[in-house]
Structure formats: C-alpha cells, structure tokens
Amino acid sequence: MSNLTILKTSIRSYENLFSLNDLHIASGGLEKHRPSLFARNEQTKELVKEIENDRSTKTIFALKTIRGGPDISKQGTWACEELVLSYAMWISPKFHLIVLRAFLAMHRNQPQQLALPEPEKKFTFEFTEYELQQLAWLWFAFKRGVGTFQHIERAFNVLGSNMSGQIYGQAYEYLSVLRSTNQILNRITSDFDIDQMTNWRALEHLRQFDPKAVKIDF
C-alpha cells in the first residue's frame, strides 16, 4: 500500500488498514479525539457493521484493535479508508478535508498538496525557577504513570478485567502527549543544567527520554 502522510506525520498501514493512532497524532493529539472514543461511538459501530456487511469476504475487518503481542509497532487501532475519513470528520471538517485530499493524492500517485492549518497563536508567560522545576517533575510523574500502566496492562488483559481497556488507553494512547510535552519542557528549560543537589535533577529524566520509545520505563 502507498505511503500516506498527513501534516508531516507518516501514517502506518497494516493489512490494508491505517493507524488511527497516527491520525490522532497528526490531528494534534487531543484527549477528546482518542481513537478508542471514536471506536466506542454508536455511529461508528453502525458504520463498521455496514462496511463489513458490504464486503464480499467477511474475513476482512473494517476496524481492528491490537493489544499486546511481540510486535509493538502493530499495537493500536487500525481502520479502513472509509473509517479513516469518518474519524477525520469526527475530529473536524477542516481535518477531514486535509485527510480526504491526502487520500486523493495518494490514489493518483501525486505529491500531496495539503492545506496546512493557520499558525498557532503564541503566548508569553513568566515562570519562577521553582515553577519550572515543578513542571519538570510533573512530566516525570506522568512518564512513570504511563510506564506503570504499560507494565500492568497485559496482566489485566489476561485476567479479563473490565478495566483492561481503560488501562490500555492510559498505557499507550497518551504517548503522543508524553513526547510533545517532553519537547516543550526541554525547550523552555534549555538554559538550565542538570544538578543532582537541587530540584533540577529532574532534568536528567527529561533529557534522557527517547521520543521514539514505545515501551516506557518507570
């Protein structure tokens, strides 16, 4: 399948399905736009049923969620093209238009001419040194929380717990937020050095974080 890129984010494909997690990142990664929320939507369930009933073979899924397994890159929510477009519209008409044009360009084997969003508004704030340190520690606590949920997610899934879906969401669907906040905090604390004798020791965790990591230590 041809490669698809949305707003400079590469969208992975697997078994003729596209990664909704990658689409989520491309859209801005807001909590309210998590793929799991879209998948639980009743209208989405009805659309999935219609798409799968319309297909000649019932072995092809319109929507697939993979949890666990040896290949971490295949974990997440995957959807057919129709559902990808529906997910994009669920996020916003503007994002839907961007995704639609990307698919049209991909099918025509043409370079994708995407309508980039308007530049984000910028704001200026003043922080005390202590407040910046607290933000660094807040990120570290967030990272440990994600790592902890990843550590226990498989056990809850094996046990058949009704909380396994929520734990999976906490373990993997906030990775884009963890990465983006790491970049932001590294940028606004770039003038400070790691100091093991003060609260700036939190910077060691901030600086050593691998933004490409999927498995998070805790």
List, for residues 132-148, the tens digit of each pLDDT value.
999 999 999 999 999 99
User: Looking at the predicted structure, is the pLDDT value of residue 207 above 90?
Assistant: yes
Number of domains in the chain: 2
One domain for residues 30 and 73 = yes
pLDDT at position 218 over 90: no
> Which of the four pLDDT bands, split at 50, 70 and 90, describes residue 1?
very low
Q: What average pLDDT does the segment 121-126 reach?
A: 87
| Same-domain status, 74 and 133 | no
Return the pLDDT at 86.
95
Tell whether 42 and 96 lie within a shared domain: yes
SS3 state of residue 157: helix
Question: 82 and 15 in one domain?
Answer: yes
Q: Do 166 and 198 lie in a common domain?
A: yes
The mean per-residue pLDDT over the stretch 38-45 comes to 90
- Residue 184 is assigned to a structural domain of this protein: yes
Angle among Cα 127, 132, 137 to the nearest 5 degrees reads 155
153 plus 203 within the same structural domain: yes
Mean pLDDT for the stretch of residues 69-91: 88
Which of the listed residues 40, 72, 107 is the one where a domain comes to its end? Answer: 107
Both 96 and 134 in one domain: the answer is no
144-176 residues labelled b (16+ CB within 10 A) or e (exposed): ebbbebbeebbebbeeeeeebbebbbbbbbbbb
Domain membership flag for residue 182 = yes
Q: Are residues 133 and 98 in the same domain?
A: no
Domain match, 70 and 24 both:
yes
Q: Is residue 166 part of a domain?
A: yes
Give a yes or no: residue 112 inside a domain.
no
DSSP-derived secondary structure letter, 120: P
Q: Domain limits at 185? A: 129-208
Answer yes or no: is 102 within a domain.
yes
171 pLDDT higher than 70: yes
Residue 111 has pLDDT above 70, yes or no: no
Do 63 and 135 lie in one domain? The reply is no
Of residues 197 and 2, more confidence is placed in: 197
Q: What is the pLDDT of residue 66?
A: 85
Global pTM exceeds 0.75 = no
pLDDT at res. 158: 84
